[in-house]
Amino acid sequence: MDIELIGRIWPFFAEAAWVTVKISILAIMLGLTLGFTAALASLSRNPVLRWPARSYVSLFRGTPALIQLFLLYFGGPQIGIHLEPFEAGVIGLGVNIGAYMCESIRGAIISVEKGQTEAGSCLGLAHHQVMSRIILPQAARMMVRPLGVNAIALIKGSAIVSTISVVELSYTAHRYISSTYKPFEMFILASVFYLAIVTIFSYGVKWVDRGVALE
Amino acid sequence: MGLDFTIIPEYLDLLIAGTWWTVALTVVSMAMSLIIGVVFAVMQLSRHRLVRWPVTFFAWLFMGTPLLLQLFLIYFGLVQIGLDLNAFVAGVIALSLHFAVYNSDIIRSAIIAIDDGQYEAARSLGLSQFQTMTRTIVPQAVANVTPALGNMMIALLKESSLVSVIGVMELTLSAQRAISDSFRSFEFYLAAAAIYYVVNLTLEQAVRITERRSARYR
Amino acid sequence: MTEPIVKIRGLKKNFGQLEVLKGIDMDIEPRQIFALIGASGSGKSTLLRTINQLEEVTEGEIWFDGELVNQKLPHRQRERHLNQLRQNIGMVFQHFNLFPHLTALENVTLAPVLLRRSSKAEAIEQAKILLDKVGLADRADYYPSRLSGGQKQRVAIARALAMTPKLMLFDEVTSALDPELVGEVNRVMKELAQEHMTMIIVTHDLRFAEDVSDHVVFMADGLVAEQGPPSQVFRAPQEERTKAFLQQVFED
Ligand SMILES: Nc1ncnc2c1ncn2[C@@H]1O[C@H](COP(=O)(O)OP(=O)(O)OP(=O)(O)O)[C@@H](O)[C@H]1O
Ligand SMILES: [Mg+2]
């Protein structure tokens, strides 16, 4: 193990880790927004809302994230979409994880007992009131964990943006492997950062989960 | 530059070959990740810490880091220690190890979930240890793990696109070859996406059917 | 004779191929206490749930307070019509269906506040009176998870009463309770009966039905097999099916 080399180049990895964090957070925010909207739309009784939402989920869960990213970044210019690698990374990852998050949110909403909806509508509450005041507050507690799983998958999955030359952790690892021929050292260095990010994030999810748990 | 999908048939052979490689990659990696997964699961259930710990550490490492990084490690690392494998083999190893970690978790909890009463009931009927395992325990465990393992295989199909970066000529790289020849990114990535989607749907259907078969008694 | 508050004519309900209600006619006068009895699967819950349209009707008419309940309306209007209707009909369920994320008090105030029946302060005031009425003034700030089954059910009754309904529907509200908790819930219903709240009570507890109701309907196979004052239906049933049912229940 080349400790001296690691000591020399770790700051580059730290900088790259920051890019991984930024791109992940932005993509998670985009994914949550899309996932939430799509979940509500897919549960609507109106087919004009339901159908596009379900198609979105099916198409984006049914194809590799890498292909979606390439289609956006390399194919985009052909249809007039010109994006910087970082922007394409955020959008590509966010739209992809949004489809998975939609399923997590939808699952949580569906898991709220039917009796809750009945009790709400028996009081004369309107559909949207039942949703916002009775179903969603209960579903929120059940979606934290699955959304956390989605988000952690995204952090690791964000490695694919290295293929469109976003200078994040995996890109940096690859570059130094090519220049130093030290794959083990570079793997360990990058892993330390990934594990740190994932671990901190997992604690964050657990903390939120405890916060929203029923008393 | 407008879109022109009429160019796709010219490269159809390339895409079809790529599709077969993707399917082969998925099937072989899934089979290997199952075998390794069982081994890991059994090791993790061992009473000896020295058997459990290496697996625990490995699982922690592989669950916390990206598949892409693991792919770099295995592809370049094996070269480093003098094993110059072809890309396909390196890809299979990386995918198998990555998914083995998840599969082993699934298998382990299925083994734990089968309650002792089943074992005792079978033995008290006079079934041998072997018969008990093959006729009562294993069928239940298989029914229990099928849905989760099926989902893993569906995930594996999509993740297998990553091995294009180390030069395995599967579907994604085939599309890239067609693009570097024709300069038609959008058309070929969309075509590749469509093929992945169809293969994915087929696999989902197969998983669903297997699931129903293996859990008929429920 | 006053106009009935609920008027049911030729009511039929199918679930797919299964005919559950096969033509029900029924009149409920204001201030009347209806007990609905019958074997499991005879369609009691379904009948109750069609009255506030938790189940849609296959055929026939239901009138509530002079208005046709199951009118064909465009989606939006129907939604508004139903919300209006349901504000006037309280329902209590077998499994309470309290909102677990809200305290007992909040369960009771939610609808009056959201539907702007009253200001928040008034709603809280009113809710406290109702909780006191069901004997739970000291549990106002408890979450449902910390209440016993009997307490939950009493909160559920208070919640329904908070909308000052003209009709209360009770669907086997004591069936999920431990025997020693049944009394406290029955007592609350009895009190409501004495205040002449119009009620339809589905129950397997025939002694309670006899005690509380002034009209008993015995259902069998999706039809009304016999009805009349409790003294008649319980003490001098006319129909063979009623006799058989009563005999079986009282034997257990
Ligand atoms: N949503 C539904 N879909 C299909 N069938 C249903 C549904 N709800 C009720 N049924 C069927 O309708 C019949 C009558 O059910 P209902 O719940 O009205 O009976 P009940 O008299 O309330 O019985 P219990 O005393 O057991 O509550 C039963 O055969 C039941 O299986
Ligand atoms: Mg019932």
Which domains, and CATH codes, for chain B? 5-217 (1.10.3720.10)
| DSSP-assigned beta bridge partners for residue C21 | C13
| Atom 26 (ligand 1) nearest CA | C40
CA distance C87 to C107: 15
Q: Which residues constitute the domain of residue A138?
A: 3-214
pLDDT higher than 60, residue C1: no
What is the CB < 6 Å shell around ligand 1? C 15, 18, 20, 38, 40-46
pLDDT higher than 90, residue B120: no
Summarised one tens digit per residue, pLDDT across range B49-74 is 998 999 999 999 999 999 999 999 99
Predicted local distance difference test score (pLDDT) of residue C40: 92
Task: Out of A2-6, B24-28, C96-100, give the one with best mean pLDDT.
Answer: B24-28
Whichever domain contains A96, its CATH number is 1.10.3720.10
Cβ–Cβ below 8 Å for C87 and A215: no
Summarised one tens digit per residue, pLDDT across range C173-198 is 999 999 999 999 999 999 999 999 99
Q: Please, which contacts does A151-154 make with residues 24 or more away whose CB atoms are closer than 8 Å?
A: A151/A24, A151/A28, A151/A31, A151/A97, A151/A201, A151/A205, A152/A198, A152/A201, A152/A202, A152/A205, A153/A97, A153/A100, A154/A24, A154/A27, A154/A28, A154/A31, A154/A93, A154/A97
For chain A, how big is the Rg over CA atoms in Å? 21
Closest residue, chain A, to B62 (C-alpha): A191
Mean pLDDT of chain B: 89
Q: Which of B25, B62, B65 to mutate against chain A (most A CBs within 10 Å)? A: B65
| C89 lies within 8 A of chain A by CB | yes
Summarised one tens digit per residue, pLDDT across range B138-196 is 778 888 888 899 999 999 999 999 999 999 999 999 999 999 999 899 999 999 999 99
Give the ligand 1 atom nearest the CA of C172: 27
What is the Å distance from ligand 1's center to C46 Cα? 6
CA distance C185 to A8: 75
How many structural domains is chain A composed of?
1
Give the ligand 1 atom nearest the CA of C18: 5
Cβ–Cβ below 8 Å for A70 and B189: yes
Ligand number nearest CA of C220 is 1
Closest residue, chain C, to A116 (C-alpha): C97
Closest residue, chain C, to A114 (C-alpha): C97
Q: Is chain C in touch with chain A: ≥3 Cβ pairs within 8 A?
A: yes
- Burial of C83 per CB tally in 10 Å (0-12, 13-18, 19+): middle
For the segment C145-158, the average pLDDT, to the nearest whole number, is 95
Give B110 to chain A, closest Cα distance, Å. Answer: 20
